[in-house]
Amino acid sequence: MSRLYPFICNMWIMGKDEEYVNAALAKGYITEKERDAILVTPKLR
């Protein structure tokens, strides 16, 4: 697991958009597999 995966996942849950997650992938902070796992995680609202 990437070091930033938990942080980015929590940011997603709290309301960040898909563009934020894709930017993290583009910068190499997370892998494609981690991005896919984040995007299927439900948000709070």
Q: Compute the distance between CA of residue 20 and CA of residue 16 in angstroms, rounded to an integer.
A: 6
CA 18 to centroid of chain Cα atoms: 8
Mean pLDDT of the chain: 97
pLDDT band at 45 (very low <50, low <70, confident <90, very high): confident
DSSP code of 4?
A: T
pLDDT band at 31 (very low <50, low <70, confident <90, very high): very high
What percent of the chain stands above pLDDT 90?
98
Q: Where are the domains of the chain?
A: 5-39
Contact partners, residue 16, CB within 8 Å, separation at least 6: none
User: Does 20 have pLDDT greater than 90?
Assistant: yes
What percent of the chain stands above pLDDT 70?
100
Joined tokens for residue 4: 């930033």
- pTM value is 0.94
